[in-house]
A and B are shown apart, each in its own frame.
Chain A
Amino acid sequence: MDLIAGLLQTSILAGGVLALAALGEVLAERVGVVNLGVEGLMALGAITGIATVVAVPSPTLGFLLALLVGLLFGMIFATATVHVRANQILCGLALTLIGTGLAATIGKAYSGMPAPATFAPIAIPILSDIPLVGRALFTQNILVYLIYIVLPFALHHLMFRTRHGLDLRAVGENPAAADAAGIPVQKIRFWYVSAGAALAAGSGAYLTLAFVPSWSEGVVAGRGWIAVSLVIFAGYRPLNAVLAALLFGLITSLGFVGQARNWPIAAPFLSMLPYLGTIALIIVPVLAWHKVRRLMAAPAALGEPYYRDVR
């Protein structure tokens, strides 16, 4: 029974990184902008988080500053892609290169240095005593509750239950029509892309302030890319994105638990699981979502800059 509890505990912790980054990417892609800079933004957030707690031992401040740094870089990216209408793929790759490079340079001084302050687990009374799943679900740090409960439900409500959500989805589906209906296309794109970037950087801070409390070059280790693929798998929906991230965390944890329990599977195969999982995540939507492809489809105007004068 400890097996399940332990597995769940690490899956939730490991999946949180992906969930937050994926939520950010959902925001950007829903308004029609592909942000491939997630990997770089996560690196920036990770180093901002560590650098902050080294100076001031407050993980909350570290997380907030990481969001702010993400927002700033997101605004630069949004200016380039939304206002200047530069190629989104190229801008995203550039952002990844800038982000990882800059973070590595700043990070030199913090390399291998464990965070002096981190988000400590908070046990929710009564609930955390539930046998089996209590400890895993209700003895986590505050960011986990934010990422798994508050944010996805808030975003889901915003996107699918409010007038504003309808507007923002319209911007991603058909910006020309949205524009004709009086929706400020450029403004909505700009701010949602920036906010998405802030969440991506926040997931980097989650990585260094809650999950592995230290910075090292390459600490993000490709999770930004995995987050991008999760968004496609999740059909651009916040709740699905979080569940997909949790599934992915579970796959990663299985590799370690398998080794600890001496499952008769070679260690290299267990280490392969996350990568096999990524491939599966790319293939499954094509096959399994076939019937519901209209529901799970990408926003129609995804990746297309909007020019009012050529509509």
Chain B
Amino acid sequence: MIDLRNLSRRGFLNMGAAAGASLLLPKSGLVTPARAQTPLAAVAEEDAVIAFGHTGPVTDEGWTWSHDQGMKAVQAAFPKLKTLFVESIPYSADATRTFRQFISEGANMVFATSNYGDFLYDVAKRSPDVAFFECDGRSPLDNLGTYYVAHWYPSYVTGVAAGLMSKSGKLGYVASFPVPSVYSGTNAFLMGARSVNPNATLQTIVINSWFDPQAATQAGTALIDNGADLLFGIMDEAGYLQVAEQRGAKAVMWNTDIRRYGPKAYVSSIIVDFKEFYVNQVRQRLEGKWVPSGNILPMTGGVDRDAWGESVPEEVRKQADAARDKILGGWSPFAGEIKDAKGAVRVAAGQTMTEEELYNWDWSIEGVSGL
């Protein structure tokens, strides 16, 4: 339905339609395999071609870089196969052209590292013997699977640290678009903070981009001017970390370890890691065992908090990591009673949100403003 990292206007408009569709089909094959079917035929390693279609440049030190590391892991695991990749694919008919190009170059497996929707499905439907994967996708096909990360758990863990470290109890969030990734990130972060400081609040600024250093810098400055002393966000660059460093505030980041751009301000980061997932999927494809599946990579299996920053006190680390251990032990922090920003109870006491509900979260909890 909605892409995590890059959202075209078209995709944004389609969001409403897709949300409607997912109401009609509550189990749209997100976590469960798409359809039971026979696997695609095996491919010899030296004949195999694995293609990656990226939304940004592989040098972004963020989302696309992480996927590129996954591709390098595939190369290391299967040195004889051939890999292809194209960067910065626009959300337009050019995407279809790029994916077709992969097929004509003999690709057996195509990973779209962002949500290309129909631009990808058109190609997938015409190439039934090629395996496709769409990141943050929600429409599985007979030869197309989906994958994403359960980032709400590390967001909760870093939220605990944020609640302990923020003196004002006012947290700031630099948001891209009002999409589920942002809702689940802000909500989980504030729930973590409120578990240790019930008065904590979170203010968001929407900048309408996944990558706009100018806007992120200004948004971070405005949040700090407004009293926030700890920033979180979902950006592909270090803009608001650098603001926090200059202004003596703290920041939690996304994607990769970028502490060197603000060592004093750096608390942690939501780190993503697709290496294991890519290698496993490629192995299944080569061995003739691949069937499309829906995957949400769990904490420690594709997403986690980064090593704590130098300014995080020992006591804070301990308390946040205790929450992390509890989650890894099977506990879910996303249990009722949860109220939305208007005060209505959305999750009743005794209920726990499912992974699918977390993945599709589209309302703010009490204490989050600006979305």
Contact = CB atoms under 8 A, between A and B. Distances in A.
A271 interface: yes
A256 B219 contact: yes
A22 B206 CA distance: 29
B214 to A, nearest CB: 5
Interface in B67-106: 88
A14 interface: yes
Contacts, number: 104
B166 interface: no
A126 interface: no
Nearest to A258: B222
Tell me if A's interface is mostly helix, strand, loop or mixed.
Answer: helix
B205 interface: yes
A6 B62 contact: no
B211 A216 contact: yes
A110 B221 CA distance: 25
B261 A9 contact: no
Contact of A212 (B57, B214, B223): B214
Contacts of A113: 59, 61
B370 A111 contact: no
Interface residues of A, number: 36
A108 B219 contact: no
Interface in A101-120: 108-114
A122 interface: no
Given A111-B59, A114-B238, A257-B225, A252 B218 contact: yes
B366 to A, nearest CB: 15
Contacts of B207: 271
A213 B261 CA distance: 10
Identify the interface centre among A5, A211, A216: most chain B CB within 10 Å of its CB: A216
Interface string B224-263: 1110100000001111001000100000000000100100
A48 interface: no
B333 interface: no
A115 B207 CA distance: 22
Given A14-B218, A113-B59, A259 B206 contact: yes
Q: List 4 tightest A-B contacts by C-beta distance, closest first.
A: A6-B225, A212-B213, A112-B60, A256-B222
Given A14-B214, A262-B370, 4 more contacts: A113-B59, A259-B204, A259-B206, A268-B208
28 contacts: A2-B225, A6-B222, A10-B222, A108-B57, A108-B59, A110-B59, A111-B59, A112-B59, A112-B237, A114-B237, A114-B238, A207-B214, A211-B214, A212-B214, A214-B238, A216-B213, A217-B57, A217-B88, A253-B218, A256-B215, A256-B218, A256-B222, A257-B222, A257-B226, A260-B203, A260-B205, A260-B219, A268-B208
